[in-house]
A and B are shown apart, each in its own frame.
Chain A
Amino acid sequence: MTTMPSLKVSFCGVDFPNPFCLSSSPVGNTYDMCARAFDIGWGGVVYKTIGLDYEVKITHPSPRLNPLNRGKEKVVGLQNVEQISDRPTKDNFADLARLKKNYPDRALVSSIMGLTHANDWAELAKMSEDAGADMIECNFSCPQMTVEGTGHKAGQDTAVVQRLTEITKEACSIPVMAKMTPNVADMIPLAMAAQLGGADAVSAINTVKATSGVDIDLAIPLPNVGGKSSSSGYSGTAVKPIGLRFIADMARDKDLNLPISGMGGIYTWIDCVEYLLLGATTLQVTTAILQHGYLIVEDMIEGMQDYMLDHGYTSVHDFIGKAVENVVEPSELSHATQAISVVDFDKCVGCGQCYLTCRDGAAEAISMNADRRPVVDEELCFGCLMCKHICPVDGAITYKTVPHHLAG
């Protein structure tokens, strides 16, 4: 049997047996849940965000979730109005301590959020360190906190991010990671603020503020909480491209030198590899677990190990950030060549979807022959490849690269 490569990563000096972590959310809400996740193979846990319960009593709006489905595909995206932990602060820290005691080889990250005073962050940081957490994640990014001025309202202000990071850092000796909101045009100034405040890492993305749907009979957006709704945190497959973009932005920035914990729509080992190639070192998952349970990590582990064998990597660090140099601005893209669609008539089943998309949305370059097979006019094809993207038969439409039609 093949010896599988180690998936160990080092992140801010903390060893993770693998980069796969629960993100701070309902999937890591209690000792039992996290213990079960560790037993199944998750390398780390970012525990559900803890606040100080003697200052604000947290309760969750209900129902707190609403999915975006597409036909039979359930939960393409997921909106939530979940708050930080509603459990007693001391119970949460007791659970953290027990987790560290029973799973000393796993990475334990304490996610914290001050709700009323700047000093709350210091207090929670100390409690985290005392409980045995390996790291702290500052939650500067929850988009639906019902306590005004917290969550992403704090995380959208560079001065606040820097100040709260400083306070947290000063209160403890373990690494501090700042969790970024994607609900900004540019994440870099906020990540830089965290760096200036002394952060050891950044994590991104928290959920995207969104409205997942509307009850069209009642004229009430969803989720319908007592007849009203709010835009709030949206996650899942639908947000993966947004996550990858922000990770790449931060990884490319010359002045930002913090390691990154990546998340947003991770379901498979392929999603994981994509995040790692664009510069993440650890990975966090919630929505996929909400949908399918902890067991999916087995396929992340095995899939990534096989990927590493196939590519000759012996360490995950061999390929972290490998794709970053291939990200450029749109203005820097080459116009020297273009694609031309190529149809394999033997694989084609003759549905004609390629014809329709080309006719109604592209170059009007495809005609159907008498055998219901698409014929591409190479003079007209401008290589958008929408035909290839919608073709129901894998490999029936490929493309070749030729000098650009309009290139001098």
Chain B
Amino acid sequence: MSASQETQTGGGHVALSLQRAVDEAQRCLLCHDAPCSQGCPGGTDPAKFIRQIRFYNFKGAARTVLGNNPLGGACAYVCPTDETCVRACVRSGIDRPIDIDGLQAFAVEYGREHGVKAMEAGARRPHKVAVVGAGPAGLTAAARLAMYGYPVTVFEARKELGGMLRYGVPESSLDSAKLDADLAEIKALGVEFKTEHLIESEDGAAKLLADGFKAIFVAPGLWKPATLKLDGIELDGVGDALSFLEECRTDTAKARALVKDKNVAVIGGGSVAMDVARCARELGAGRIYAIALESMTELPAQADELGDALKDGVVIKPQCQVTRIIGEGGKVAFLEGHETEWIEPGKLVPQNARPIEGTHFKLKVGAVIQAIGQRPTDAVGKVLTSAKKQGALVEANAETQATSVAGVFAGGDLVRGAGTVVAAVGDGKRAADAIHRHLAGGKEVAS
């Protein structure tokens, strides 16, 4: 069991009002060579948009955010800023860091209210580009390519755009209207979206090239949940995080039926596990456990998410392993496990955990939801049949996102494993820039 890195982060980011935004921007030290602007995987420049707010250049701030990141609105709500820009904030040395996500959300909302157009489609170029997957990486690449002037077609297997932002993040973290506002601006660039259009033929990327697309960006994400091999895993009442979170958005009745009035065990200690716990609480679950191999300080969930879960009454069981699920009449009834310790300290993989004698426990639960990571679906495997892979993940150049197949680029979770939205945004930007060099510069981009 491994609570791998998680895809999304949740919780509590709020857009500041104009007055509060100015107040907060006034707290900013306007650092020289600002550390907050140095570590964003998406290339955001908080020092610039905070300065713009400080000097009442609100429209400029919106242009800074959205011109760099077409999902700047959504990222303001879901970014793990405590681990990136906010963590780097120099003001922490005096009292507390600047509320960078609140300022970003303010800038985006101000820009939208005042008709700021941060992105514009470039002069039309002849080379058609295809993007597979309308998640954070694909959407970012599509927007940026359209800004360069390429006709872009995005193929999306699902009905709605957004990928994890649409189907994986709880509504309480990112309400759909915020995502839709970002999407509207991307659509306005003239990007063509083909939804419910799964690319599943063998070597689908190569076929797209044959169909006349001059470059392909493949970013379909990881949508196959990892599952444990345990006694009772087949019982009615055992689910996985991806399906549960998706149902929370698309089929709430089904999600509610799984957890309402039941004790729920969430297996995993990352951000997704905390999202599942929060949604289960909202849907009326009884006692909620989060069971993870890591210790309290090792849990991959961010501190604020963990804090929210604790406030919600979630019982965290750190350094514990589930050994068996017991059913009654085909339905989940109990869960058994024991406490563990690391054989070799600091090596946080399931193989390195060993049980501690005399710590066996048994919990009465009505549902078990696994939040232990995800893999590529079988269809995704086919898109890039001939590309070089590392396990289930596709290999791509860290600077260009180029795969081993000429003209085919890849990014997002499919390349990096489950990661953050903003990291996928970074991939999309890099890929678009590399595709532009590849097409406009007439030079092959080394993989």
Contact = CB atoms under 8 A, between A and B. Distances in A.
Q: Are A and B associated in one complex?
A: yes
Interface of A: 71-72, 349-353, 355-356, 368, 372, 392-393
B29 A72 contact: no
Given A356-B32, A368-B33, A350 B93 contact: yes
Contacts of A355: 32
Interface of B: 19, 22-23, 25-26, 29-33, 35, 54, 90-91, 93-94
Contacts of A352: 31-33
B32 A368 contact: yes
Given A71-B54, A392-B94, A393-B94, A353 B26 contact: no
A351 B90 CA distance: 6
Given A351-B32, A352-B32, A352-B33, A71 B94 contact: no
A58 B355 CA distance: 89
Q: Please report whether the interface of chain B is mostly helix, strand, loop or mixed according to DSSP.
A: helix
Contacts of B29: 349, 351, 353, 392
Q: Which of A351, A352, A353, A393 has the most CB of B within 10 A?
A: A351
Nearest to B33: A352
Contact of A353 (B30, B54, B93): B30
A103 to B, nearest CB: 41
Contact of A71 (B23, B33, B91, B93): B23
Q: Which 10 pairs show the lowest CB-CB distances between chains A and B? A: A352-B32, A349-B93, A351-B29, A71-B26, A72-B23, A351-B31, A351-B90, A355-B32, A356-B32, A349-B90
B22 A71 contact: yes
Given A71-B23, A393-B94, 15 more contacts: A72-B23, A349-B91, A349-B93, A349-B94, A350-B31, A350-B93, A351-B32, A351-B91, A352-B31, A352-B32, A353-B30, A353-B31, A353-B32, A372-B90, A392-B94
Nearest to A392: B29
Given A350-B93, A351-B90, A72 B31 contact: no
A350 B29 CA distance: 10
A72 B22 contact: yes
Nearest to A72: B23
A351 to B, nearest CB: 4
Q: Is chain A's binding surface mostly helix, strand, loop or mixed?
A: loop
27 contacts: A71-B22, A71-B23, A71-B25, A71-B54, A72-B19, A72-B23, A72-B26, A349-B29, A349-B90, A349-B91, A350-B31, A350-B90, A350-B93, A351-B30, A351-B31, A352-B31, A352-B33, A353-B30, A353-B31, A356-B30, A356-B32, A368-B33, A372-B33, A372-B90, A392-B29, A392-B94, A393-B93
Contacts of B22: 71-72
A301 B290 CA distance: 58
B236 to A, nearest CB: 57
Contacts of A349: 29, 90-91, 93-94
Contacts of B90: 349-351, 372
Nearest to A355: B32
A392 B30 CA distance: 11
A289 B91 CA distance: 33
A352 B29 CA distance: 9
B103 to A, nearest CB: 14
Nearest to B54: A71
Contacts of B94: 349, 392-393
B64 to A, nearest CB: 19
Contacts of B35: 372
Contacts of A353: 29-32
A6 B91 CA distance: 43
Contacts of A72: 19, 22-23, 26
Nearest to B25: A71
B87 to A, nearest CB: 14
Contacts of B25: 71
A351 B94 CA distance: 11
Nearest to B26: A71
A242 to B, nearest CB: 25
A175 B321 CA distance: 90
Contacts of A71: 22-23, 25-26, 54
A161 B270 CA distance: 80
A72 B207 CA distance: 59
Contacts of B30: 351, 353, 356
A351 B35 CA distance: 9
B111 to A, nearest CB: 19
Contacts of B93: 349-350, 393
A351 B47 CA distance: 12
B347 to A, nearest CB: 32
A353 B32 CA distance: 6
A356 B33 CA distance: 10
Nearest to B29: A351
Contacts of A368: 32-33
A71 B53 CA distance: 10
Residue of B26, B32, B90, B93 most packed against chain A (CB within 10 A): B32
Contacts of B31: 350-353
Nearest to A357: B32
A12 B273 CA distance: 78
A316 to B, nearest CB: 37
A313 to B, nearest CB: 35
B20 to A, nearest CB: 9
B419 to A, nearest CB: 29
Nearest to B92: A349
A311 B35 CA distance: 45
Contacts of B54: 71
A350 B91 CA distance: 9
